[in-house]
Amino acid sequence: MYDVLIVGGGPAGLYAAYCLAKAGRRVAVFEEHPEIGSPVHCTGLIASESFTRFDLPRHANQAALREARFYSPGGHSLSVASEKDETVLLDRSAFDRGLADQARAAGAEIFPGHRVEALRRLRRNLVARTSNSTGMERLVSGRLGILATGASYGLHRGLGFQLPDRFVYGAQVEVGFEITSGVEVYFGNDIAPGSFAWIVPFTREGVAMAKIGVLASRDAMQYLTRFLRLPVVASRIRSRAVYQYLRRPVAVWPLPQTFGDRMLVIGDAAGLAKPTTGGGVYYSLLSAEFAADTACRALSAGDCSPRVLSRYQNAWRAALASELKVGSLFRGYASRFSDAQIDEAFQIVAAEPVTRLIRDHASFNWHKGIILALWRSSSMRGFLWRALMSRGGRIIGALRPFMKAYPAIKLREEGAATD
């Protein structure tokens, strides 16, 4: 009998396992893929503050990125540089393996290649039915369960949880690329409708490479193919060999309830990601920490009822609810801009008063501050109202953060994605 059964061996599940095992709890992690860290599930950009906020392995850090350049559809550009190493590029496979080693060292048991086919609640515990690559099935008991399944929702309905209802879609490749110093981000409805495309440089074994991807409101694979053919991208690709070709939906609004009888839902499985960029690593780690703390308290009290486990949702809401609401409002509004409006926004942002706001308020993990600061700027607020009126009120829908803004996904098409 385990104290906690964790379904999913990504950052959320592995960090929850580490926190629980460190607290003396007997933990089992079941990961359906045969290797931890494969396939890769995101670009791997995280804020350097993550390493002071959480106890994380550092050996997987590939680069510290200080500069990003943003491009509008009409060719306007904006460069943002930091004097400190605010953004770190991870080797996500190595990072996940490091989290697994850390969890094992603390006492957690990890079972790669074991898929949880079903979870059943009993009166005093729950039982997981698992299967491995040979088809061998096994029943495992635990006092409490944590869903950390990422963008995979096959177990949700059977446990009484809803599915996320707002998504964006990501696709990414890794290719040989010319040497470049900073991240590049491209906007435009012909490039990435409703979102953006990116080029993130890194080196592997001394070879210059880049992660090139698209986050879009639809058809991410199609837009990625188109982006790779643009002269500004294609002319700098040094090898046509594609090392990884990743795709997946990214939930950008949380489940209405992330706790239940003997169950908690964390990370992407709970829809906890930044609505503005789809990035989920920081939120996954934060929710894992909150879930582990709640689980320890529930196990110590001998009470894993929804009443006690609701403490977890209260904790992540206190930390993230306002960020999620403001970020979702911003995404809903900005995703409806025309290319001409994106160009106008770039010109306003390039002016010194707004540039100073960005320097003072921009943060990799926390976007509410810069969004509200931009809204308080008279020039940006005027632009936003003009954009609203010029679209005949069609952007008004973006002002309803609880609307179902994105189409439902086909669960069979889940793969890997962006951060």
Containing structural domain, residue 298:
2-60+91-164+255-320
Return all residues near 68 (Cβ < 8 A) that are at least 6 apart: 79, 80, 81, 87, 182, 183, 184, 185
pLDDT digits (tens, 9 = 90+) for 120-173: 999 889 999 999 988 899 999 999 999 999 989 999 999 999 999 889 999 999
In a domain, 120, yes or no: yes
User: Would 249 be classed as within a structural domain?
Assistant: no
* Cis status of the peptide bond prior to 249, with omega within 30 of 0: no
CB 113 within 8 A of CB 34: yes
Residue 50 lies in a domain: yes
DSSP assignment string, 346-391: HHHHHSHHHHHHHHHH--SS--HHHHHHHHHSHHHHHHHHHHHHHT
DSSP states along 102-171: HHHHHT-EEEET-EEEEEEE-SS-EEEEEE-TT--EEEEEEEEEEE--SS--TTTGGGTPPPP--EEEEE
Judgement on whether residues 35 and 119 belong to the same structural domain of the protein: yes
Together in a domain, 56 and 107 = yes
Do residues 287 and 368 both lie within one domain? no
Task: Mark whether 47 and 131 lie in a shared domain.
Answer: yes
Which of 272, 303, 320 represents a domain boundary (last residue)? 320
Convert the pLDDT of each residue in 42-97 to its tens digit: 888 999 889 999 999 999 888 888 889 999 999 999 888 766 557 899 999 999 99
Q: Quick check: is 79 in a domain?
A: no
- Judge if 267 and 367 occupy the same domain: no
| Same domain as 275, residue 390 | no
What's the CATH code of the domain at 142? 3.50.50.60
Residues 387 and 274 in one domain: no
Percent of the chain with pLDDT over 70: 91
Over residues 383-395, the pLDDT tens digits come to 887 877 765 444 4
Whether 293 and 341 map to the same domain: the answer is: no
- Closest of 263, 385, 258 to residue 333, by C-alpha: 385
Q: CA 266 → CA 69, 185, 255, 282, 286, distances in Å?
A: 33, 29, 10, 12, 9
Number of domains in the chain: 2
Domain endpoint, select from 292, 320, 348: 320
Q: Are residues 314 and 368 in the same domain?
A: no
The answer to whether position 407 is within a domain reads: no
**pLDDT tens-place string over residues 177-217:** 999 888 999 999 999 999 999 999 998 888 899 999 999 98
CA distance linking residue 359 with residue 323, whole number of Å = 19
Mean pLDDT of 264-276: 96
Q: Which residues pair with residue 186 across a beta bridge?
A: 71, 197
**Domain co-membership, 24 together with 107:** yes
Q: 290 lies in a domain?
A: yes
Q: What is d(CA 216, CA 224) in angstroms, rounded to the nearest whole number? A: 9
Q: 344: helix, coil or strand?
A: helix
Distance of alpha carbon 249 from the chain centroid:
10
Looking at the structure, tell me whether residues 290 and 354 fall in a common domain. no
Residue with tokens 């494969």: 38
Residue 39 included in any domain: yes
pTM of the model: 0.90
Same domain, 357 and 314: no
Long-range contacts of 77-86 (CB under 8 A, 24+ apart): 77/346, 78/346, 78/349, 78/350, 79/182, 80/358, 80/362, 81/182, 84/48, 85/48, 86/47, 86/48, 86/49, 86/364
Tell whether 370 is covered by a domain: yes
